[in-house]
Amino acid sequence: MCQHIGKTIVKVDRTESTNNYAIGQVYENEVEEGTVFLAHDQTFGRGHFANRWESEAGKNLTFSVFIRPAFLPVHQTFMLSKVVCLGIENCLSKFINDVKVKWPNDIYVNDRKVCGILIENGIMNSQIRQSVIGIGLNVNQARFHSDAPNPVSLKLISGEAYDLDSLLKDVLESIDYYYAQLVAGKFEYLDRAFHDRLYRFDEWHAFKDENHHYTGKITGVNEIGQLRIQEKEGPMHEYHFKEVVYL
């Protein structure tokens, strides 16, 4: 199993989506596990469902990582989200404060989104044959023009410009470290680390689901990746993505 994420980096000048590009390369060629596909200009980055990822050419990091986590049971695919989120959070925390993981797989600084992650798994015979992990990290972009509610970049937070190659190296090394923990079966360690870094973890906040508004606190994430929220003077709720709204 590969523990050298980023050993090979394929750079492309322009592509619609690094995930689409990576998936195409995997199907057409023999791609080494851990290969990273990096775009200078991603013109139509994809998020979850119909969401789009805005990125100014040459200002940010938009890339996809290819891995083959066949050792991971299908019902524990959310561990991949934990690994990637922890890697990015750990790296960014060296430069800025108040970095948190917003379930299921965004990176927030205070209440603003600095990084989004899209993981697409290829499953066959109840086994994860491959995963393509798309990452969009806002680095040096100073203005955002889409209708995304709360984007921010490292430059807007710190006032500093960052060298993209150096930052990419740091991010990949950090993700590689946490992926190595997953390969080694250190699930409990990863679970604890993920919960410790969860946005709004163990704090009372307002939430909304299809039935009501309520006050609750996030208590963690279960084995299949559902967010667990304890309602104040009410039951424990477990949600899949898009089933609950943070207020």
Q: Are residues 157 and 211 in the same domain?
A: no
Q: Which amino acid is at 185?
A: G
pLDDT band, residue 144 (cuts 50/70/90)? confident
Give the distance from CA 181 to its chain's centroid: 17
Q: Are residues 101 and 210 in the same domain?
A: no
> In the chain, pLDDT over 70 holds for what percent of residues?
94
Q: What is the mean pLDDT of residues 170-182?
A: 96
pLDDT band, residue 30 (cuts 50/70/90)? confident
Q: Are residues 192 and 211 in the same domain?
A: no
Q: Report yes or no on 59 lying in a domain.
A: yes
Q: Are residues 31 and 104 in the same domain?
A: yes
Kindly tell me if the per-residue pLDDT of 179 is higher than 90. Answer: yes
> Whole-prediction pTM value?
0.91
Domain end, chosen from 196, 215, 230, is at: 196
CATH of the domain at 240: 2.30.30
How far apart, in whole angstroms, are the C-alpha atoms of residue 226 and residue 208?
16
Contact call for residues 34 and 8 (beta carbons, < 8 A): yes
Highest mean pLDDT among 38-47, 92-101, 116-125: 92-101
Contacts of 46 (CB under 8 A, 6+ apart): 17, 19, 20, 52, 53, 118, 134
- Residue 240 belongs to what domain range? 204-246
Q: Are residues 154 and 227 in the same domain?
A: no
CATH of the domain at 23: 3.30.930.10
Q: Report yes or no on 147 lying in a domain.
A: yes
SS3 percent helix, strand, coil of the chain, rounded to 5, is 25, 35, 40
Kindly tell me if the per-residue pLDDT of 133 is higher than 70. Answer: yes
pLDDT of residue 89: 98
pLDDT of residue 51: 61
**DSSP for residue 241:** T
How far apart, in whole angstroms, are the C-alpha atoms of residue 170 and residue 166?
6
**Which helix H or strand E contains 154, and what residues bound it?**
helix 154-158
* 3-state SS record for 192-232: HHHHHCECCECCEEEEECCCCEEEEEEEEECCCCCEEEEEC
pLDDT of residue 44: 65
Q: What is the total count of domains within the chain? A: 2
Q: What is the mean pLDDT of residues 156-167?
A: 96
Question: For 90-226, where are the E strands, in sequence order?
Answer: 99-102, 106-109, 112-124, 127-137, 204-208, 213-221
Q: Are residues 34 and 142 in the same domain?
A: yes
Contact call for residues 154 and 92 (beta carbons, < 8 A): yes
Q: Are residues 136 and 56 in the same domain?
A: yes
Q: Report yes or no on 1 lying in a domain.
A: no
Digit-coded pLDDT (tens) for 107-130: 999 999 999 999 999 888 888 989
Within 58-148, residue ranges assigned H as helices are 78-92
Higher pLDDT among residues 169 and 123, named by residue? 169
Q: Are residues 91 and 125 in the same domain?
A: yes
Q: Report yes or no on 107 lying in a domain.
A: yes
Kindly tell me if the per-residue pLDDT of 158 is higher than 70. Answer: yes
Q: Are residues 213 and 242 in the same domain?
A: yes
Among 1-5, 133-137, 156-160, 223-227, the range scoring the smallest mean pLDDT is 1-5
pLDDT band, residue 49 (cuts 50/70/90)? very low
Q: Report yes or no on 4 lying in a domain.
A: no
